Structure 1
Amino acid sequence: MSELTLRAEKLDGADELAGLRDRFVLDEGVYLDGNSLGALPANVPDHIGEVVRRQWGELRIRSWTEGGWWTAPERVGDRIAPLVGAAPGQVVVGDSTSVNVFKALVAAVRMARQDGAGERDEILVDATTFPSDGYIAQSAARMTGCALRPVTPAEVPGALTARTAAVLLNHVDYRTGRLHDLPSLTAAVHAVGAYAVWDLCHSAGALPVGLDEHGVRLAVGCTYKYLNGGPGSPAFLYVRRDVQDRFDSPLPGWNSHAEPFGMRPGYEPAAGALRGRVGTPDILSLLALEAALGVWDGVPVEAVRAKSLALTDFFLECVDAYVPAGRVESLTPAAHEERGSQVALRCPDAGEAMKRLIERGVVGDFRHPDVLRFGFTPLYVGFADADRAARVLAEVLA
């Protein structure tokens, strides 16, 4: 048994989060794709069975009130809020990440223009962003009459001008796992009178975000990665309390109306983060997410972050020890302050290598053209998993 394997056993034995693995449905393999789809929390199937049988099957329409369906978007939002550093009443759950990005970005431009400082006819977008965010930014720019300028996050401070209305940024780069400096970038954007919109898809549930602490006004994120909400589970929208009364959604719907059952032809937005709602929420997915969030009971996100960094450090050490020299190159920053909760390795034959890894029970994913991605979800991934994954990778690439 190698020194690294022995060390993995000791680290797992001392891990205060190790027992959380029992809260999930897992097999004997190594699941390192929680940055695409989180594992199934063990309590979800029975809960959803009860929702279907009793709330839908027996109570039927009464469940909108008696089952709490109507208030679920903000109730579940308040469950997510502490995981992203937000006080209650600022997070609403519903729709997809793309839809929420569109709401937030258009609202950001509108608020910047309401502030009355300058022409505000430009949107900056992260040039390395997930494609869908880029598509949404293009549409939002057309809708608001703005020019769209792609820049890397590092270039944002130098690219900001008095014409900048909004800036759409990713907290963690989906390809490389690079963590961007949310506090300083937010401050720079706000200093010129613009609004930052943060995409938290690869950071929510993986590390402390500190939305309230760092003065973020608008943020969105998915719930099916590190929050383990299930495939296609609804996304969340954060609207800081002090801008909620000016949040002008481009998608006003009856669910965000001040009197949703008044059925009036004129739209009057509800107070607070509720104006981020649109239409009828996806109740089954929403309640599955609510149950899934139970795995976080008693778990501080700071402890998750500490284990995440230790896991990714250890995995990189194992890769360096086991994998033949020159076969892979890490794209993930070595510095902790620049790293999310994944490791990205460049490999010339990455697609075939990942296929063979999965056949051997090590599940990560492949990003075109040459990137192997391994997501580390500390709630259910251990150090022995990291050691085994690196060993199998070495055998596949030998």
Structure 2
Amino acid sequence: MTTLQAQTVPAHIHALDAHDPLRHKREEFVLPEGAIYLDGNSLGAMPRRVPARLSHVASQEWGQQLIRSWTAQTRDDPAEAAQDWMALPDRVAAKVARLIGAGPHEVAVGDSTSVNTFKALAAALSLAGERRVILTDADNFPTDLYMAQGLGTLTGDLELRRVPAADVAANLTSDVGVLLLTEVDYRTGRRLDMAALSEQARAQGILTVWDLAHSAGAFAVDLNGCRADFAVGCGYKFLNGGPGAPAFLFVAERHHAAAPVVLSGWMGHADPFEMARDYAPAPGARRFVVGTPQVLSLSALDTALDVFADVDLRDVREKSLSLGRTFMALMEPLLSRFPLTLVTPTAEVERGSQVSYRHPQAREVMAHLIAAGIIGDFRTPDILRFGLTPLYHSHADVWHAVQGIGAVLEARA
């Protein structure tokens, strides 16, 4: 038994775990011994089936099949005929689509979140016509802001208008072409109302680009239900696809014919191996796939997504909220003893799947917590961030983590 697990968990915490419909999913992940991992919102834990898949891809698909693995027609084993590399982005896209409320043909998988943000912004601005303002949250994730700034440098006629998140709705004016927002704030865990903001933007003729980096896999997203236009997200956080896992891009079907593909690579061509000299887009969102699929990382993500196959996303959301409620309730006594300030909304409709606190020495505190086996995250300037992953966290984990946090703060005091 580790030090973190030595204390007796209260009966009411055990009761929460006993009634958890997702408790069996924990065994499908590799989790570090002697630690409580609360940073899945930066890098998800590894699903147990991933190493075997990667080994097979390396030793058989690459090692033995070599170039023949690109096409199903050349596979020797009929069971592997459906696993050709050319179709790998589409297979992964279909698995992601289920989690974000999209059709498989509306999702393209590949590249990074940053590159996909560039693609989405360029396409949305083209559809926006003469409107050259991108409206965004002033504290949006930096790479989203950087991509918008870079696009502005390229075109020379864009304005990136940054306002506080609370003021976004009031700034949906007639000169705005695109609304660029992250659904769940990476620092505080505050969740925006995607449906309401998308509807308000649409009423003003404004297209929406949503960043789902801290949403996809943490709870059910309903892009089509919200009538979102574009969305992006990464594969390595709550989707558990591994470091640098490929990202995804959502393009609503109604925009497929008109939205331009500014990065028109050969893998987005209707017939890549025809080697035509002029670009003709593939059907659906596949046209937004640019270059050769990253087979190893895509294969890891493909297998990682299988952990969601038998999961009801409503259970994922309910457990996420329960973990958050438990965490905040257990932390409450510490707030009166130490310089901690809760910055995550207590209203559940406004909360993602993390809990964050301000502390004047947050960097140093987090370093001590990690050394003690409580692996959370520090975000500038003073945020202690704790990610909650419903598929592999228990309420007992939360209880042990808070006991450890209290011990570290007490020792520092």
Scaled to the shorter chain, the TM-score interval is over 0.9
Q: CA deviation at 1:348?
A: 1.1
Q: 2:20 aligns with which of 15, 20, 26?
A: 15
**Structure-2 residue corresponding to 1:311:** 323
SS in 2 for 1:58: coil
Letter in 2 for 1:83: L
Q: Distance in 2 between matches of 1:319 and 1:31?
A: 17
Q: CA deviation at 1:13?
A: 1.4
**Structure-1 residue corresponding to 2:46:** 40
CA contact (8 A) 2:219 2:317 kept: yes
Deviations 1:305-357 (A, max 9, x none): 00000001100111113565242111000000100000011011111111111
Q: CA deviation at 1:141?
A: 2.4
The yes-or-no answer on 1:101 pairing with 2:117 is yes
SS in 2 for 1:246: coil
Q: CA deviation at 1:258?
A: 1.9
Q: CA deviation at 1:70?
A: 0.5
Letter in 2 for 1:20: K
SS in 2 for 1:312: helix
Letter in 2 for 1:28: G
Q: 2:138 aligns with which of 127, 132, 153?
A: 127
Letter in 1 for 2:145: G
Q: CA deviation at 1:2?
A: 9.4
**Structure-2 residue corresponding to 1:116:** none
Q: Distance in 2 between matches of 1:182 and 1:220?
A: 14
Q: 2:180 aligns with which of 168, 175, 178?
A: 168
Q: CA deviation at 1:151?
A: 1.7
CA contact (8 A) 2:9 2:396 kept: no
| Equivalent residues in 2 for 1:188-227, closer than 5 Å | 188-227=200-239
Q: CA deviation at 1:396?
A: 0.8
Deviations 1:94-116 (A, max 9, x none): 00000000000010000121xxx
CA contact (8 A) 1:122 1:146 kept: yes
Greater mean alpha carbon deviation, residues 265-274 or residues 296-305: 265-274
Q: Distance in 2 between matches of 1:299 and 1:382?
A: 16
CA contact (8 A) 1:112 1:166 kept: yes
SS in 2 for 1:373: strand
CA contact (8 A) 1:4 1:318 kept: no
**Structure-1 residue corresponding to 2:92:** 76
Letter in 2 for 1:80: V
Letter in 2 for 1:103: K
SS in 1 for 2:86: coil
Deviations 1:105-140 (A, max 9, x none): 010000121xxxxx3121112211111111001112
Q: CA deviation at 1:262?
A: 2.2
**Structure-1 residue corresponding to 2:297:** 285
Q: TM-score, normalised by structure 2?
A: 0.92
| Equivalent residues in 2 for 1:254-265, closer than 5 Å | 254-265=266-277
Q: Distance in 2 between matches of 1:75 and 1:109?
A: 29
List gaps (5 residues or longer) in structure 1: 114-118
Q: CA deviation at 1:88?
A: 2.4
Letter in 2 for 1:143: L
Letter in 2 for 1:226: F
CA contact (8 A) 2:334 2:340 kept: no
Q: Distance in 2 between matches of 1:378 and 1:28?
A: 19
The yes-or-no answer on 1:85 pairing with 2:101 is yes
Q: Distance in 2 between matches of 1:158 and 1:324?
A: 36
Q: TM-score, normalised by structure 1?
A: 0.96
The yes-or-no answer on 1:235 pairing with 2:241 is no
**Structure-2 residue corresponding to 1:346:** 358
CA contact (8 A) 1:122 1:166 kept: yes
Deviations 1:174-198 (A, max 9, x none): 0000000100111111111121000
Q: CA deviation at 1:259?
A: 2.4
List gaps (5 residues or longer) in structure 2: 1-5, 73-82
Return closer, same or farther for 1:58/1:2 CA change in 2, 3 Å cut-off. Answer: closer
RMSD of the TM alignment (CA)?
1.5
CA contact (8 A) 1:323 1:390 kept: no
Q: How many aligned residue pairs are there?
A: 393
Q: Distance in 2 between matches of 1:76 and 1:349?
A: 41
Greater mean alpha carbon deviation, residues 182-191 or residues 2-11: 2-11
Greater mean alpha carbon deviation, residues 300-309 or residues 66-75: 66-75
Greater mean alpha carbon deviation, residues 2-11 or residues 343-352: 2-11
Identity of aligned residues (%): 47
Letter in 1 for 2:110: G
